Structure 1
Amino acid sequence: MNPLSILLIGLAMSTDAFAAAIGKGAAMTRPRLPQALRAGLVFGVVEAITPVIGWLLGTAASRFIEAWDHWIAFVLLAALGLHMIWQALHASDEAPEDDGNGGSLLKLAIAGLATSIDAMAVGVGLAFADVHIAVVALVIGLCTFTMVTLGVMLGRALGAVIGKRAEIAGGVILILVGAAIVHEHLSAAAA
């Protein structure tokens, strides 16, 4: 596999995380670069690990992962999105929900996992290609780190425009990303 193909795989695998990061940045109270870097690091590490797991699973699990990856991603993203919306609607006006660090590490890891399920399926496919999985995983992780960091900061600008409704917008974006994943897989299956 040539370097351009590996880079394109990395960019493709980071698009869902980028969209989720825009929502996360919009929901945060004026995120700073260290918070964006933290989110990027968590998403990047998770996104780098999942194709390796998929690669290790190989053909035995490929049918199961490919059949359910879009539903798993949708459920995780929708649950996180609904939780963000619920928090925004039930939050006290006096106390912001943001913890100053961009959310708990667990929430970031779950969001990262939700957006990287497709990378696991790609890893399964790469088990049958002439590819060094560590290089591919590193590129996917670095692309995701970069895209999520940029997404959080872009979401910051969006959050300043939206104001108090930023967390609702972030939740809706997560749900839409999940729905887009399901739509993409169902459309491909129908074709």
Structure 2
Amino acid sequence: MNLASTIFLAFAMSTDAFAAAVGKGASLRKPRVTEALRTGLIFGVIEAITPLVGWAIGRTAAQYVTAWDHWIAFGLLFLLGARMIREGCGSAEHADEKPNSHSFWVLAVTGFATSIDAMAVGAGLAFIDVDIFSTAATIGFATMLMVTVGVMIGRLVGATIGKRAEIVGGVVLIGVGCAILAQHLGYTS
């Protein structure tokens, strides 16, 4: 795989994390660049690790990873999205109580849910001649950049639509989960 293909793959693998980051940024009270970088780093590290795990699994049992990855991603994203929608539908008197940051675990679970497809890609890469470490690092770096930008875009969107931002973020997460599921079930090209 050449450098251009690796970069294209990295940014393609980052699009669902970007969408989730916009929702995460929208649900925070004016996230700062440091919070966006923290979120980007957490997502990026997870997105870099999962293709390595997938590659290792692919060397032994690729059919098991690809058989379930889309269901796991859908379930996690649906639950996280439903939680955000529920919180967004809460009383308006708590609208000023948006957190300044998300917990590490909320970000890690979201990052993992959006990177399960990278695990499947890693499993597929086990069957071709590719430097998995540089590919995984490129995927992680691209994800870090896109998530950092996504959180800051979410800040702008959140300031514009107020309390509904969390609902929009939840809908985006559920939509990403549905898109992953539809793609793997063959409903999209």
CA distance in 2, matches of 1:6, 1:73: 23
Contact kept? 2:95, 2:163, Cα under 8 Å: no
Q: In the superposition, relative to structure 1, how do residues 96 and 122 fare at CA in structure 2: closer, same or farther (>3 Å)?
A: same
CA distance in 2, matches of 1:177, 1:13: 12
Contact kept? 2:27, 2:166, Cα under 8 Å: yes
TM-score by length of 1: 0.93
**Local SS of the residue matching 2:89:** helix
CA distance in 1, matches of 2:79, 2:91: 18
1:113 aligns with 2:118: no
Question: Which blocks of at least 5 consecutive residues in structure 1 are unaligned?
Answer: none
The letter of the residue matching 2:167 is I
TM-score by length of 2: 0.94
Contact kept? 1:91, 1:97, Cα under 8 Å: no
Q: In the superposition, relative to structure 1, how do residues 123 and 97 fare at CA in structure 2: closer, same or farther (>3 Å)?
A: farther
Q: Where does 1:85-100 land on structure 2 (aligned, <5 Å)?
A: 85-90=85-90, 93-94=93-94, 96-100=96-100
Percent identity between the two aligned chains: 56
**Local SS of the residue matching 1:131:** coil
**Local SS of the residue matching 2:186:** helix
Contact kept? 1:11, 1:140, Cα under 8 Å: yes
CA distance in 1, matches of 2:16, 2:152: 16
Contact kept? 1:27, 1:169, Cα under 8 Å: no
Question: Which blocks of at least 5 consecutive residues in structure 2 are unaligned?
Answer: none
Once superposed, what is the RMSD of the aligned Cα atoms?
Answer: 1.7
Q: In the superposition, relative to structure 1, how do residues 94 and 79 fare at CA in structure 2: closer, same or farther (>3 Å)?
A: closer
Of the structure 1 ranges 140-149 and 127-136, higher mean CA displacement relative to structure 2 is found in: 127-136
Q: Deviations over 1:77-107 (max 9, x none)?
A: 0100111111222357247454312x00000
